[in-house]
Amino acid sequence: MDTPPPPPPPTQSPPPVNWDALDALVLDFARSDRLLLPPASPSPPSSPSSSSTTTATSSSSSTPSPSSSYRSRLLIRHARTALEEGDVDAALALLRAHAPAALLDHRLLFHLHKQRFVELVRRGTEADREAALDCLRTALAPCALDAYPEAYEEFKHILLVLIYDKDDQSSPVANEWSIKKRFELAGLLSSILRAHLQAYDPILSMTLRYLISIHKLLCSRQGISSPISDLTERLLFDDRDPPAVPQECSLEAPPFDEVDVQALAHAVELTRQGAVDSLKFAKGDLFQAFKNELCRMKLDLPLLDKLIHEYCIYRGIVEGGSHVLSGLESNNQSNDVNFVDKQEGSTETRIDFEMTNNQNGNCSTSDTSHHDSWSRRLRRVRSSASGQRRRKRWRGRVDDLDYGCETPLDANKHAILCSALDMDEDDMIVKPDLMADTGLPDSRSNQDQKYEVILEMRDLTRKGMASKVVEEINNMDPDFFLKNPILLFQLKQVEFLKLVASGDHGAALKVASTHLGPLAASNQALLKPLKETLVTLIQPCEDVLTKSVSLPILASSLQIAMSRRLGIEEPQLMKIIRTTLHTHSEWFKLQMCKDRFEHFLKIDSLKEVDPSLGSHNMSKVLTDECANGSSQITTCSSGKVPDEGSSPQESSEVTCDENAILKVMEFLALPRADAIQLLMQYGGNAEAVIQQIFS
């Protein structure tokens, strides 16, 4: 007789994502990179999704102003492009005009003159050869004398380009002739200028680099296939810009705290010596070094802009357009047993599961009354669109500052940029209005109206107007709550709590007996939340609603469910954030330590859902109960944690001294989790571990 299979390990509900915190980071990114048009009217009411941006976008007083940081990043991008195209003169002109102090770095200046010499010889004309020889005499040779110890030998070696052909792959200067040298120098210049000008990318850009790099590392080490690999591979490239080399005078820096060295090395995958050099360049400032290393990672900026735009439309941060952006569809959207890509530790968990059938066609067009009701609602929104509050308008990325000096922009390009910037926003509003007046079919306009309906329901939910939300949705789609009973329970729960808070216990009990009771009777998972809700009858208080229910979570859950009902997929950025936040948590469980950089990158804010709530008991109960019977997903890493001795429970049995962990990591060049595992095998004795390895 076959033995029954062992019971599956308990599922782990990952914490829900604070989408409001992500809204703040996205809005900060869009503002920092000038992706938004200025408002056409004074201070419209902010959307709920952007209501929390004030505190999140405020940066420390030591950082440069957004305007100067933007100009500096543009300068770096222009100089980088010039070098990649082989125009060293243009790059030098930009530096002399806007960052002359950077040229005091003789090492950088030597590299620039050396590349300029190669590019002049590459052109091949007699005039350019004369200019190359002049560059040797007046710039390269003098600079080689005091750049760095090996510079003069490199100077003599580069002279060989005068006699070896650029197409001769066997020549001793084939590497110097390589086009790859342009990109290496462009990357080095970017690293140096970024630190010199404090021109760091917006926090969201650095956070994505960090989360995706950890996600890739965990996938590689655990042998896990990533459900978002199609996106992450395109968004974050494997190669990095070269690191900035510390000046000779800083090479004798005092020894750094080993805790900082190891934290930096393992956060951005550096060797120990690489981390030490990075700290030297940053003069011992760990977070400065961390920013320098993160910004060396290369992102596909056009793709990131598309992801940001898609998210902004979905969340109501900017006015709509065509929501489905070409090239963003992921080929890995199916559930993966190793991740909780579509699962959240809130009611979104169950909602995603409930809406799966709708995506497969069960919200079909066969129900004509359903479509008629949606159409009537869309017409109502369209007829009242003129009274709707205006959201921000998307401009897109435009290099709108002329850093030309001796190398001005092409006249046509300059005219286009100026016309785009000088155009009054009212003029820009006319075009879509005219399109709407033509009477021609406009699928984009129809899509925008769908967003308006969804966002209106979301906003009403955030305000606690649950009864109105239920009424409106039932009028539009009577079957919606039949397919989403958890959502209906939560909305009626909100209605009940509001009545209790107002002292109308009779009406509250009527809501409970008419709606909450029958829903709980048909779903045993709702009985415990129902009991917890009824307890508020004997302990009423004015803020019972805010203490018991997270309206932002409920609003986001409703938005996701309604969007899928209308055939609107959630943004790819949401999938990336949800999955990488989960793997970030799993990674640091393996490391048995707290991430030193999560507060700086706002990762803790992304994981902190509705911090205003005094108690999460109700939400937690509903989350835990609703996870039963929904799509059960066991993460691979959570299953492996106990085996590797890295769970918090096991760590309490064998205590590993932090100094011992660092000692093993340093001497054996091991990741933290591997060092801990070895120490646990040898009773926490670092000397025994090292002796055993080298014996």
In tens, the pLDDT along 60-93 reads 445 567 778 899 999 999 999 999 999 999 999 9
Percent of the chain surpassing pLDDT 90: 47
pLDDT grade, residue 252 (50/70/90)? low
User: How much is the average pLDDT of 451-478?
Assistant: 92
Backbone angles phi, psi at 350, to 5 degrees: -75, -35
Dihedral angle computed from the Cα positions of residues 448, 453, 457 and 460, in that order, rounded to the nearest 10 degrees: 90
pLDDT grade, residue 231 (50/70/90)? very high
For the chain, what is the mean pLDDT?
A: 76
Specify the DSSP element, H or E, that contains 237. Answer: strand 236-240
pLDDT at position 88 is 96
User: How much is the average pLDDT of 467-491?
Assistant: 93
DSSP 3-state assignment of 682?
Answer: coil
Using only the alpha carbons of the chain, give its radius of gyration. 30
pLDDT grade, residue 604 (50/70/90)? very high
AA identity, residue 617: N
- How far is Cα 430 from Cα 334, in angstroms, rounded to an integer? 42
> With the C-alpha atoms ordered 168, 171, 177, 181, is the resulting torsion angle positive or negative?
positive
pLDDT at position 515 is 93
pLDDT at position 684 is 77
- How far is Cα 467 from Cα 469, in angstroms, rounded to an integer? 5
- Taking the alpha carbons at both ends of the chain, their separation in whole angstroms is 50
Please give the structure tokens belonging to residue 355. Answer: 């809406």
DSSP 3-state assignment of 298?
Answer: strand
Helices marked H in 99-228 — which ranges? 106-123, 126-135, 141-144, 151-158, 174-177, 180-197, 203-222
Residue 248 or 223, more confident: 223
Q: Which of 472, 461, 542 is nearest to 495 (CA)?
A: 461
pLDDT at position 160 is 94
Q: Which of 266, 315, 235, 123 is nearest to 592 (CA)?
A: 266
Please give the structure tokens belonging to residue 677. Answer: 């595992």
User: How much is the average pLDDT of 562-571?
Assistant: 90
Highest mean pLDDT among 27-36, 41-50, 630-639: 27-36
Burial class (CB in 10 A: 0-12, 13-18, 19+), 301: middle
Q: Are strands 297-299 and 236-240 parallel, antiparallel or unpaired?
A: antiparallel
User: How much is the average pLDDT of 563-572?
Assistant: 90
User: How much is the average pLDDT of 89-99?
Assistant: 94
pLDDT grade, residue 371 (50/70/90)? low
pLDDT at position 402 is 52
User: How much is the average pLDDT of 422-433?
Assistant: 38
Taking only the tens place, the pLDDT of each residue in 647-685 is: 333 333 446 777 777 777 777 777 777 777 777 777 777
Helix (DSSP H) and strand (DSSP E) numbers for the chain = 38, 4
DSSP 3-state assignment of 236?
Answer: strand
Are the C-beta atoms of 298 and 283 separated by less than 8 Å? no
DSSP 3-state assignment of 660?
Answer: helix
For every residue of 412-439, DSSP letters joined together read: HHHHHHHHHHHS-HHHHHHHHHHHHHT-
Length of the chain as a residue count: 695
User: How much is the average pLDDT of 398-427?
Assistant: 44
> With the C-alpha atoms ordered 476, 480, 482, 484, is the resulting torsion angle positive or negative?
negative
Q: Which long-range contacts (CB under 8 A, 24 or more apart) does 462-466 make?
A: 462/48, 462/551, 462/552, 462/555, 463/551, 464/494, 464/498, 464/545, 464/551, 466/491, 466/492, 466/494, 466/495, 466/498
Which residues does 310 contact at the CB level (< 8 Å), separation at least 6?
Answer: 323, 325, 328, 571, 572, 573
pLDDT grade, residue 200 (50/70/90)? very high
pLDDT at position 73 is 93
Task: Give the residue carrying structure tokens 């100077």.
Answer: 155
pLDDT at position 419 is 42
